[in-house]
Amino acid sequence: MSERRQSLYFFLIAVWVLAVGIGLRDAWPADEPRFVLVAKQMLESGDWLFPHRGHELYPDKPPLYFWLLAASQSVVGSWRWSFLLPSLVAGLVSLWLTFDLGRRLHGHRAGLWAAAAVLCTLQFVYQFKRAQIDPTLVMFTTLALYGLCRHLLLGPNWRAFWLGCFAAGLGVIAKGVGFLPLLILLPFAAMRWRRWSGLADPGTGSAWRWSVGALAFFAAIALWFAPMLILATRGGDPEHAAYLQNILFKQTATRYAEAWHHRQPVWYFLEIIALFWLPFSLAFPWLARHWRAAWRERDARVWLPLSWALLVVVFFSLSPGKRDMYILPALPAFTLAAAPWLTEVSTRVGFRRVLLAFAALLSVLLLGIGASAWFGQPKFATTLIAERGLGAEVVWLWRMLAAVGVVGLAAVAFWRTAGALQATALLLIAVWTGYGLVAHPVLDASSSSRELMRQARAIAGPDRVVGLVAWKEQNLLQAIGPVEEFGFSRSEPDQLARGIAWLQADPAQRRLLVQQSPALPCLDGSLARPVAVANRRQWLMLSADVLPTGCQPPATPIK
């Protein structure tokens, strides 16, 4: 098969795996509804510099990803069909950049293996089928790595270097850690000093060219930061000034050094690589020998991307706050460092046996979960149904899991050890196809809160205003008809007190949709009308004639 046809087939498979299921669901927690809501409010308000979540400013993240979401909706015209498009594009671009850089460094086959290793990784596909910032961040960090390596390993290529620096700046205004690709200059300097092989001569005497790279980096950041800074410091709005202070310090240095959530031990990312990077991580024992040899040979084409990937892991490991997707930008670099030997590793009988065992175990697990829930009532299934408010449609989820398990076991039995790669590939394609075509529509009504907000509107009536108390972003995003909210960051008792005062100001035309929460012990569920269970939460509808006692409204009524 020609190289061109191999590439075509690979990217057709990639498009299917990453795109299947788009349009079959709305935004799901934890992050998706928040980001889509912020982008939606940007489109409606025209305020592109200061993101909002409801009435409040949202200073947790820079706005570039929200701009991409809003642009996708503007082109497509439907949030349901557009909100996953930035992640899809980011995934395909990241794969192409990995392939092309691997091709230039080690040949066409090695580049294709590097991209395939990224695509087969469970965490990569899962994250790139979600509307989160991290896929876009990975696209920009991979583009930055691509440009920098084109210059440092294959150069001199100053235009590629400047592109890489500009991409790192765009990464910063997508997520603050977008500067990480520039850390590759540290191992590059050390390797130049130690005279490693494989490095290009980038023209160290051309100081002005290096300075242009710094200008490109800051120019990309300035696309948002400069106008935002001017308005925040000269506009006279104290909320904008507080936003500037928050995003510059609390959401960057403080969040890194003194994280207030997602605290994990220092070895946390080793577990993530071992489990979430399956099945690519299965190749590490065979790759270790080659990486040691490349170190002894001082091969910069292997160890420059690998050293940067290790720096990324160390950087995030030093912060007490960790989430599994933080090290995802390092994945393409790991596969590029593995690219010269992936063909050879794939032929090893030992590796194929381990890979086949992985495919068999995953198939058995999926078949066992699906069959036990389909034909019985195990605790995990009844818990899921109760927490998610699912109905009879959940049977399709169990059938899908069982069917994927059967496909996987049939592939394992047919190809056996010699065809372990084909069996695993077919299983993974089946997993993501079932996830997109079945899990998306089955879980969507509850996970997105679409059905909850439909029922809330049906109970409240078409014209009444529904006030949201202890709300989540998906409630406001999926709201039908007029709604009011009392601040997202306020405590739940404060929201309820303000909501009661608001309700009493016009009891005939207002209702409260309240999450039943331990923080609201004054709520008597027997007095309120149950609405639905969604996202593991029970929601109640309150009217003025069934207000709970003990929840005191503020002294000044909310108009």
Query: Which pLDDT score, from 0 to 100, does residue 559 have?
Result: 46
Give the per-residue pLDDT at 254.
Answer: 76
β-pair partners for 52: 57
What are the structure tokens assigned to 89, written together? 């594009």
As a 3-state breakdown, the chain gives helix, strand, coil percent values, each rounded to 5, of 70, 5, 25
Question: Mean pLDDT over all residues of the chain?
Answer: 92
Is residue 553 very low, low, confident or very high in pLDDT (cuts 50, 70, 90)?
A: low
CATH 3.40.190 location in the chain: 450-546
> What's the pLDDT score for residue 557?
45
Q: How many angstroms separate the CA atoms of 27 and 442, rounded?
A: 14
Residues 417, 419, 420, 425: what is their CA dihedral angle, to the nearest 10 degrees? -170
| The pLDDT of residue 538 | 87
Q: Which helix H or strand E contains 102, and what residues bound it?
A: helix 85-106
Instruction: For the beta carbon of residue 62, count every other beta carbon within 10 angstroms.
Output: 24
Alpha-carbon distances of 529 from 54, 318, 543, rounded to whole Å: 25, 48, 9
Least confident of 93-97, 169-173, 359-363, 501-505: 501-505
Q: Which two tokens stand for residue 37?
A: 């809501």
Using CA atoms, how far apart are residues 360 and 405, in angstroms rounded to an integer? 9
Q: Please give the model's pTM, rounded to 2 decimal places.
A: 0.94
What kind and span of H or E run contains 541? strand 537-542
C-alpha to C-alpha distance for 193 and 265, rounded to whole angstroms: 35
CB-based contacts of 553: which residues, under 8 Å, 6+ apart? 497, 498, 500, 501, 504
**pLDDT for residue 239 is more than 50:** yes
- Distance from the Cα of residue 445 to its chain's centroid: 21
| Total count of residues recorded for the chain | 559
Residue in this structure with the two tokens 């603050």, named with its chain if needed? 176
Supply the pLDDT for residue 201: 84
Instruction: Report cis status (omega within 30 of 0) of the bond before 135.
Output: no
Stretch 531-557: mean pLDDT? 74
Q: Taking residues 26-55, what's their average pLDDT?
A: 95
Instruction: Please write the tens of the pLDDT for every residue from 338-382.
Output: 999 999 999 999 999 999 999 999 999 999 999 999 998 898 898
Question: What CA–CA distance (Å, rounded) separates 146 from 184?
Answer: 11
Positive or negative, the CA dihedral 134, 140, 143, 147 is negative
Q: Which CATH architecture has domain 450-546?
A: 3-Layer(aba) Sandwich (3.40)
